[in-house]
Amino acid sequence: MTEKIVVLGTGGTIAGTAASSSDHTGYTAAQIGITSLLQSVPGLQEALQGRELVSEQLAQLDSKDMDFDTMRRLAQSCVHHLAQPEVRAIVITHGTDTLEETAYFLHRVIPIELQAKPVVLTCAMRPATSSEADGPRNLRDAVLVAGDSHARGVLSVCAGDVHSAKTVQKVHTYALNAFSSGDVALGEPGVVAQVVGDQVLWKPVFQSFLDEKRHIDRIESAQAAIDLIVNTSVAKIAWPRVEIVLNHAQATGSIVRALLAEATSQDPLCGIVVAGTGNGTVSESLQSALNEAQPKGVEVIVASRCAWGGVHDVSALSAVKARIDLMLKLLRAA
């Protein structure tokens, strides 16, 4: 039986085009289909190492417009393909803007038993028509990582760095190496591997991370949400509305109160994630408004607006990932 690697296209800069090959920023994302993208990747056959490549255009959008219905279809496609014995891994092309959110969503909802096989997201900071396009290398590297015997769980690959879905964040607006996982902290690995030539060099800390199954330890708490999202044929999900509010100097509660005022029975406000300062601190004025929201059925959790460290004794998640966690929790409770 020939092993397969499935590539799912969702659009993004990696599939973008510009009027000039020298234009790296004034482009339109999500213009080129996944089949055409794969045809322009040097070294792809060598990276496959004899495996068959299967591609599917699952979506075609700029990732700033990513939504949970598309994420759900992506998760369902991953589950379908990973369950096939001949499928070794999945590679997903994605825009950089919300890659970390989609990666974390997949990390949370793909069943544990299927995460023995890797799902690798990759991207580009320059469009496909650029004379210095980075997409082909990233796509080739992602296929190489996907076929590596040590790879498992949801990962992302950009500029030769391999990140865990739990820790990856976009930290730069235009650099080719736009992502980081920070330093090794709170039991989480930083960059888990690097692609050097034709080799994937795994960091020793990642092996213990895998052995202890900490790359999947947050999934079990949302089994009902997993079942609803990927294991049923429910046509449409009513995603709980969860908003993010930022704490800052002289932050007031006006945004929270405005959110409460505009909420309706058809579109209720279900949760708020506060991107707090430092170790999750919140101004007295903002805290007062949050205290008003909770008796009205709004669940409030606190993250940090700092890039790394999280809120000690609570969560190491960024605000956008904490929002996904809360949405899944509330979805389970619906």
CB hemisphere CA count around 261 (13 angstroms): 7
* Burial of 313 per CB tally in 10 Å (0-12, 13-18, 19+): exposed
**DSSP letter assigned to residue 281:** B
Residue with tokens 């990276």: 47
DSSP 52-63: EEEEEEEEEE-G
In angstroms, the CA 142 to CA 99 distance is 14
Active site residue 13: yes
* Burial of 167 per CB tally in 10 Å (0-12, 13-18, 19+): buried
Q: Which of the following is catalytic: 2, 10, 13, 102?
A: 13
Question: How far is it between the farthest Cα atoms of the chain?
Answer: 63
- Across the chain, the runs of DSSP E, i.e. the strands, are 4-11, 52-61, 87-93, 118-122, 153-158, 161-164, 169-170, 179-180, 193-196, 199-202, 241-246, 269-276, 299-304
Catalytic residues, by residue number, are 13
